[in-house]
Amino acid sequence: MSLKRTLVGIIRSMEGTSDRAKDPKMKTRYYNLSRDKAWEEISSLMKKIPGYKVLHEVPSVGEITMEKRTTFGRTLDITVTLIQVTPVRTAVDIYSASKGSLGDLGANYRIIIQLFDIIDKKLSRYKVTGE
Query: For 52-68, how does the pLDDT look when each residue is reduced to its tens digit (9 = 90+)?
Result: 999 999 999 999 999 99
**Ramachandran region, residue 49 (left: φ > 0; alpha: ψ -120 to 50; beta: rest):** beta
Residue 131 lies in a domain: no
DSSP β-bridge partners for residue 27? 18
Q: What percent of the chain has pLDDT over 70?
A: 89
- Domains identified in the chain, total number: 1
d(CA 18, CA 24): 10
Q: Is residue 86 in a domain?
A: yes
pLDDT tens, residue by residue, 70-95: 887 889 999 999 999 999 999 999 99
User: Greatest CA separation found in the chain?
Assistant: 42
CATH number at residue 79: 3.30.530.20
Other C-beta atoms closer than 10 Å to the C-beta of 69 total 12
Mean pLDDT on 20-29? 93
17, exposed or middle or buried, with CB in 10 Å at 0-12, 13-18, 19+?
buried
Domain hosting 12: range is 3-126
Q: What is the pTM of this model?
A: 0.89
